[in-house]
């Protein structure tokens, strides 16, 4: 199948070919014709599947064919959970609209609002936004959503995880009820299905990959290791493997900073990216990583969400996530759009139950290795790390069928909503991520 056969205009075909894409990815093949038919779409698409072009290309076609008013009201809104994802979607929209008369803008918290307000004043057709800054500027009358024709909720599962449900409801109330809705999510929880029911009209369901399975191109491996030996092992793997571009995940920002220091002492250029870093520092770290001046990027889950690093060869879980779905998101940073990649997890005794939950979710047994000199501690407890010690984003403490876990998951989720929301839309208050 070619992009042309999907019904895209010459201007879009030219932009796609400039990106070097030869064939549409499965999600693009399925979603583009449906969006062009003006259907509401509920898409299950893992990160790295090409989902952004899947909604952006047809959206650009619809907007460029529609009536364009001189003052350019915002006609399409893409809501994203994080600033990084917003910036990345904006970059994609700009590239794909290069040969069209379409203006786009991105707004998110954590940076001065003035330049954003002045861009909005000049009129934009497509706005990409995080919910907090969007509502902030709307309440200041710096933007209006009253002419929205297309709404995209990108990584909707993460938006709910981060406590944006109320913001999403508020945004809905500011838009005309007649509009096209596209909802993209890597996972399909009950909450996502409820959200979809409340927003989408007779949606067509599109699945690029089975829910929660990991991309085949990713080679997964676990190293069983004593907790204290993890820094030594990761340094050995990176230096002896001569790995040039490695994304490392830690559970906490304190852990990210600590690990970074150890790597730098070992002569490896490493930078941490997490909720405590300013937007400028995050952008700089990511740019350094992309242009290979920084060899290792150490990230927490929330900060890493939405990072688009093409052809990333190595992802290492320095610590396993306590939310199994995060594992899928993390390792989706490698093996992107058909490229192969390697995802390694360093697992110590108290992460055993996390590993079992992850294996259950992804439906495979991940091969295990032990390296000489970095053996696991036979006396260490396999009791899971206490949630109040490490993390309160407790959606998975090792046994997702356990009803008391589910209860604590619900209360923890609501307790964390406000914290996480602020953290990711610019007003940091969460001390862990």
> Which residues are near ligand AMP by CB under 6 A?
21, 24-25, 28, 47-53, 308, 310, 336-337
CB of 50 to ligand AMP, least distance (A): 3
d(CA 274, CA 290): 17
User: Exposure of 369 by Cβ count < 10 A (0-12 exposed, 13-18 middle, 19+ buried)?
Assistant: exposed
Name the strand (E) or helix (H) holding 324. Answer: helix 324-331
Which phi and psi (to 5°) does residue 368 adopt?
A: -115, 140
Nearer to ligand AMP, 50 or 255 (CB): 50
Least Cβ distance, residue 405 to ligand AMP (angstroms): 31
- Would you tell me how many other CB atoms lie within 10 Å of the CB of residue 152? 25
- 51 vs 432, beta carbon nearer ligand AMP: 51
Q: Minimum CB separation from ligand AMP for residue 332, in Å?
A: 8
Q: Say if CB 120 and CB 142 are below 8 A apart.
A: yes
Taking the least distance from each CB to ligand AMP, the nearer of 209 and 300 is 209
Please choose, from the candidates 96, 10, 84, 8, the residue with its C-alpha nearest in 3D space to the C-alpha of residue 50.
96
| Shortest spacing between CB 18 and ligand AMP, in angstroms | 11
CB of 56 to ligand AMP, least distance (A): 9
Neighbours of 95 (CB within 10 A): 14
**Are residues 206 and 190 in contact, defined by beta-carbon separation less than 8 angstroms?**
no
Q: Least CB distance from residue 51 to ligand AMP, whole Å?
A: 5
The distance of closest approach from Cβ of residue 52 to ligand AMP in the complex, given in angstroms and rounded to an integer, is: 3
Nearer to ligand AMP, 93 or 320 (CB): 93
Question: In this structure, are residues 168 and 196 in contact, taking their beta carbons and an 8 Å threshold?
Answer: no
Rounded to whole angstroms, the Cα distance separating 106 from 124 reads 10
Q: How far is the CB of 340 from ligand AMP (least distance, A)?
A: 14
HSE of 74 in the Cβ direction (CA atoms, 13 Å)?
A: 26
Residue whose CB is less far from ligand AMP, 154 or 342: 154
Count of positions (residues) in the chain: 433
> Least separation, in Å, of the C-beta of 174 and ligand AMP?
27
Pick the closer one to ligand AMP by CB: 136 or 326. Answer: 326
Structure tokens belonging to residue 90: 């904006």
Round to whole Å and give the CA distance between 137 and 118.
11
For ligand AMP, the closer of residues 50 and 341 by Cβ is 50
Sign of torsion over alpha carbons 108, 113, 115, 117? positive
Q: 3-state class of 44 per DSSP?
A: strand
Least CB distance from residue 207 to ligand AMP, whole Å?
14
SS3 assignment, position 369: strand
For residue 281, count other CB atoms closer than 10 A to its CB.
Answer: 14
Looking only at the bridges linking them, the beta strands covering 204-207 and 41-44 are parallel
Q: Closest CB to ligand AMP among 52 and 116?
A: 52
For residue 150, the surrounding DSSP H or E stretch is: strand 150-153
Between 185 and 391, whose beta carbon lies closer to ligand AMP?
185
Helix (H, G, I), strand (E, B) or coil at 257: helix
The number of beta carbons lying within 10 Å of the beta carbon of residue 10 is 9
Distance CA 352, CA 251 (A): 15
Of 50 and 321, which has the nearer Cβ to ligand AMP? 50
Write down the least CB distance from residue 341 to ligand AMP, Å: 12
Q: Among residues 175 and 312, whose Cβ is nearest to ligand AMP?
A: 312
């Amino acid at each position: 199948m070619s992009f042309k056969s999907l019904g895209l205009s010459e201007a879009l075909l030219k932009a796609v070919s400039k990106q070097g894409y030869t064939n549409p990815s499965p999600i693009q093949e399925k979603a583009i014709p449906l969006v062009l038919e003006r259907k509401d779409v509920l898409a299950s698409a893992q990160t790295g599947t090409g989902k952004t072009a899947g909604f952006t290309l047809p959206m650009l076609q619809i907007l460029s064919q529609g009536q364009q008013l001189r003052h350019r009201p915002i006609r399409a809104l893409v809501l994203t959970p994080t600033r990084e994802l917003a910036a990345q979607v904006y970059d994609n929209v700009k590239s794909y609209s290069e040969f069209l008369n379409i203006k786009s803008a991105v707004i998110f918290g954590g940076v001065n609002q003035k330049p954003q307000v002045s861009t909005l004043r000049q009129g934009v057709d497509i706005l990409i936004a995080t919910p907090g800054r969007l509502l902030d500027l709307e309440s200041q009358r710096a933007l209006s959503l009253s002419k929205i024709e297309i709404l995209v909720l990108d990584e909707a599962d993460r938006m709910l995880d981060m406590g944006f449900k109320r913001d999403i409801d508020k945004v809905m109330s500011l838009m005309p009820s007649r509009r096209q809705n596209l909802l993209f999510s890597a996972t399909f929880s009950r909450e996502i299905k409820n959200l979809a029911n409340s927003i989408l009209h007779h949606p067509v369901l599109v699945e690029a990959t089975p829910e929660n399975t990991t991309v085949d191109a990713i080679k997964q491996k676990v190293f069983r290791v004593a907790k204290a030996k993890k820094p030594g092992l990761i340094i050995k793997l990176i230096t002896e493997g001569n790995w040039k571009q490695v994304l490392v995940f830690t559970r906490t920002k304190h852990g990210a900073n600590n690990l970074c220091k150890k790597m730098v002492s070992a002569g490896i250029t490493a930078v941490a990216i997490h909720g405590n870093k300013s937007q400028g520092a995050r952008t700089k770290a990511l740019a350094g990583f992309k242009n290979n001046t920084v060899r290792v990027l150490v990230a927490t889950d929330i900060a890493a969400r939405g990072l688009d690093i093409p052809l990333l060869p190595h992802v290492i879980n320095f610590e396993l996530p306590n939310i199994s779905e995060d594992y899928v998101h993390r390792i989706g940073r490698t093996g992107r759009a058909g490229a192969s990649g390697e995802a390694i997890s360093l697992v110590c005794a108290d992460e055993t139950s996390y590993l079992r939950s992850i294996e259950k979710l992804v439906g495979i047994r991940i091969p295990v290795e032990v390296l000489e000199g970095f053996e696991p501690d036979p006396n260490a407890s396999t009791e899971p790390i206490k949630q109040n010690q490490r993390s309160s984003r407790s959606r998975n403490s090792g046994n997702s069928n356990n009803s008391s876990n589910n209860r604590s998951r619900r209360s923890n989720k609501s307790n964390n909503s406000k914290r996480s929301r602020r953290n990711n839309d610019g007003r940091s208050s969460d001390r862990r991520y």
